[in-house]
Amino acid sequence: MDTASFGGVRSQRYAMIVDNGVVTQLNVEAPSQFEVSTAEAILKAL
């Protein structure tokens, strides 16, 4: 991947649910995937 076009090195894609400062769910994507960190997946987990 040409990271220069995206502003340099990026972290892995993830989404988390935080309740009162405590992480209650952390969804980390597999490389080249876009499933567990979508808005729909997070809303379903709430």
Domains held by the chain: number? 1
Q: Please give the chain's pLDDT, 46 residues, in tens.
A: 556 666 677 778 999 999 999 999 999 999 888 999 999 999 999 9
Q: For the chain, what is the HEC assignment?
A: CCHHHHCCCCCCCEEEEEECCEEEEEEECCCCCCCCCCHHHHHHHC
Q: Quick one: pLDDT at residue 44?
A: 95
User: Do 37 and 45 form a contact (C-beta atoms < 8 A)?
Assistant: no
The range of the structural domain enclosing residue 31 comes to 3-45
The reported pTM is 0.68
| Rounded distance between C-alpha atoms, residue 7 and residue 16, angstroms | 23
| Rounded distance between C-alpha atoms, residue 37 and residue 7, angstroms | 21
